[in-house]
Amino acid sequence: MKRLVIITVGKTHSGKTTFARALEKQLNNSFVMDQDNHAEFVNTYYKNLQPKQGPNTLKHSLSKLIVDYAKENTDFHFIICNSNRSRKGRLYLLEELFTTDEFIRILVHFDIPDEVLQERVIQSQRSTNIFRGAYSNFEEVLVRQQAESLKEDVVDPIEGEADHLFVIKDNEEVNEVIQKIEQITERYIYQVEGYLAP
């Protein structure tokens, strides 16, 4: 039977982590895979092993290990809680790690206005132990992400990129999206068990 993979897309402080944790509580047999947790772990215990510049290959290797382990040793649904703003990065997830023959793929795009995010990062109490290199606060991260929005590969997800796409423009919409994801799960289970025509 297929599992769900729910992949968040959005800038810092757009509500991805809050959404992922709320979904994990509602979606039976699921877990959150959040690279910020891996970054904090690496920074705390293996800081000297990290590359000084370029992609954080140590963090990515840890994340890949966890995904592979969960795929091979559990039947859990995946909630991938990262920014995932690069189309190339999303295609890697959708075409290499979470293929259509094994997963129902859902993208949840947090399209929150920059002025809202700016206010949130200024007031942020989140741990900064996830940072590597020049960043010292989330305001700097948001500025970088705003600049990256001009790059060709940093694009919003579109219909057809995955099996389902939900766009959240206001965090009040989170509960409705969670309910829709639960409905997708229920409908698929009914189809597999023969209660509904496919």
pLDDT at position 197:
47
pLDDT at 192: 74
What's the confidence (pLDDT) of residue 58?
A: 96
Task: Give the per-residue pLDDT at 194.
Answer: 63
Give me the amino acid identity at 75.
D
Q: What's residue 133's pLDDT?
A: 77
Q: Calculate the alpha carbon distances from 47 to 38, 51, 135, 136 in Å.
A: 12, 9, 15, 16
Domain annotation for the chain: domains and CATH numbers: 3-192 (3.40.50.300)
pLDDT at 198: 47
CA Rg value for the chain: 17
**62-119 pLDDT tens trace:** 999 999 999 999 999 999 999 999 999 999 999 999 999 999 999 999 999 999 999 9
Residue linked to tokens 């895979």: 33
Token pair recorded at residue 77? 């649904």
pLDDT in tens, the chain (198 residues): 899 999 999 999 999 999 999 999 999 999 999 999 999 999 999 999 999 888 899 999 999 999 999 999 999 999 999 999 999 999 999 999 999 999 999 999 999 999 999 999 999 999 999 998 778 899 999 999 999 988 889 999 999 999 999 999 999 999 999 999 999 998 887 777 665 444
